[in-house]
Chain A
Amino acid sequence: MSHTELGRVDIKDLSITLGRGKQAFEAVQNVSVSIAPGEFICLLGPSGCGKSTLLGALAGHLPASSGSIRVDAKSISGPDSERGIVFQQHTLFPWKSVIDNVAFGLKMQGIPRNVRHEQARDLLKLVGLAGFEEHYPAQLSGGMQQRVEIARVLINSPKVILMDEPFGALDAQTRIMMQQLLLRVWERFNTTIVFVTHDIDEALFLADRILVMSARPGRIIENLAVDFQRPRDAELLTSEAFMHLKRHCLQLLHLR
């Protein structure tokens, strides 16, 4: 990961106010953090602490009330295909076939149909869904839908991928499979990933660095480097070093 690569994120003194008038409150307070290009960041924190809010601001869907977000030194102004987002519940277009969903980003760039379908087909192969091109999203299982979702974001070659508990609705076995798939994809594309979860195991398994947020108003209370060797496999989950970090996280979240 050289520092000339793209995908550097600088968040400075960021606060985000939600609600209007009397109901207004700060959901995210004074967050400053720098993310290196290609870094895998996990955001960990109790429910309602503002993780989704912070991610929404990174995507450009929510305005900052103060502070700034820069991607590669450029202030963000609204949503952009350089920052892809994946939610917990898929947001595939129900009226488009799987391949047209994946190719959507290229269509928006005006790329001809056969070219974009070729790229989409390659990405579907990469996420293990060759043969499902003509299906509708409703015909796929939850795990398959999220894989299509990931392929759809990848086709834009985004600098940053934002993921909001993308595997939160999947069963344990599928979740582990998806985590490994995501790591494979990430190692290949080398994009920056900001991944929200409240599953400590998931954060430790995936991340280069974990940012732990406090309960509302969300502030970052810990910046935890996770330097387990890569590629990682399931064995890691039972190692002593892993347990040690897990205990630390549990303490931070007041879960013990």
Chain B
Amino acid sequence: MKYPRFKRPLLRAASVGFYLIAWHLLSTQHVDLGIVTFQNVPTPGEVFAEGWNLLQSKKTLAHLTASLSRVFGGFVLAGLVGIVLGLCIGSYHLAADLLLPPLELLRPIPAVAWIPLAILMFPSTELSMTYITFTGALFPILLNTIHGVVGVDARLLASARSLGARQLAVFHEVILPGAAQNIFTGLSIGMGTAWFCLVTAEMIAGQFGIGYYTWSAYTIQNYAGIVVGMLLIGGLGLLSSQLVKRLGQALTPWHRPPAKAL
């Protein structure tokens, strides 16, 4: 059905508003549906107030920097390892045969399942949480890079060689830019999984960080804090994924050429 264009943002805002009101009603009335209950769910107002508190608290910055540095540490490492390994595995059969089988065996193990072992393996919990984040981000980045490299048009490689490109030049002039779009897809998925894994790791092993904040809010029965933590995690995850996506678009301008020339 058609309706005037300017009404669309209005409708979208109304849709969000509807859920907010539903949440408000369910939580203020302490609705109990048997299989799910809203008796302990904080109201939007309580959540807002708790969020305001957190903003003014001195600990907030410590929580944020703890989480951000773990995520970016693990993510950057996963990016470097994933891209370099992916380029090699995608380009050389030998590298694929030597490197891929063990990775394929590790891949089905969810990063979260690594937590106990990671705590045993690393002297500091900081390192173990970064490692969990790394493991979570690695596979999407690695697999998308391989996919991108394998998908590079063989005729482009042939042309580059016929124009005088040697192996190293073929790598950075053709294979890397040819796979760039897939690599950025992998990075942006990897950023999502990195947050997911970090939050879980923090809930179990952290002393600071947003995951830790969320879980400790539960243990001290600060129920509004739980929701504030959830919203923070979601918001930060979205923000960093967007950042990666924007970076990808800025670095691959040929994928959105301005209007056709003629």
Contacts and interface: CB of A to CB of B under 8 A. Distances in A.
Interface string B161-174: 11111100100011
Contact of A105 (B153, B163, B252): B163
B13 interface: no
A51 interface: no
A154 B159 CA distance: 13
B163 A104 contact: yes
Nearest to B258: A139
A152 B156 CA distance: 13
B162 A109 contact: no
Interface string B148-166: 0000010110111111111
Q: How big is chain B's contact interface, by range?
A: 20 to 34
Contacts, number: 73
A242 interface: no
Task: Give the contact-size bracket for chain A.
Answer: 20 to 34
B177 A93 contact: yes
B249 to A, nearest CB: 13
A135 B261 contact: yes
Interface in A66-100: 78-81, 83-85, 87, 89, 91, 93-96
A141 B163 CA distance: 23
Contacts of B153: 91
Nearest to B178: A95
A179 interface: no
Contacts of B262: 140-141
Contacts of B174: 93
Given A94-B254, A95-B254, A108 B169 contact: yes
A107 B170 CA distance: 12
A59 B162 contact: yes
A138 B92 CA distance: 30
A132 interface: yes
A186 interface: no
B257 interface: yes
A229 to B, nearest CB: 33
Nearest to A87: B155
B12 interface: no
Interface string A98-132: 00000011011100000000000000000000001
A91 B158 contact: yes
B254 A85 contact: no
B2 interface: no
A140 B262 CA distance: 7
Interface of B: 153, 155-156, 158-166, 169, 173-174, 177-178, 180, 252, 254, 257-258, 260-262
The 6 closest A-B pairs by CB, nearest first: A81-B164, A79-B161, A108-B164, A91-B159, A95-B177, A139-B261
Given A104-B165, A141-B262, A156-B163, 16 more contacts: A79-B158, A80-B162, A81-B164, A84-B162, A91-B153, A91-B156, A93-B177, A108-B163, A108-B164, A135-B261, A136-B254, A139-B257, A139-B260, A140-B261, A140-B262, A152-B163
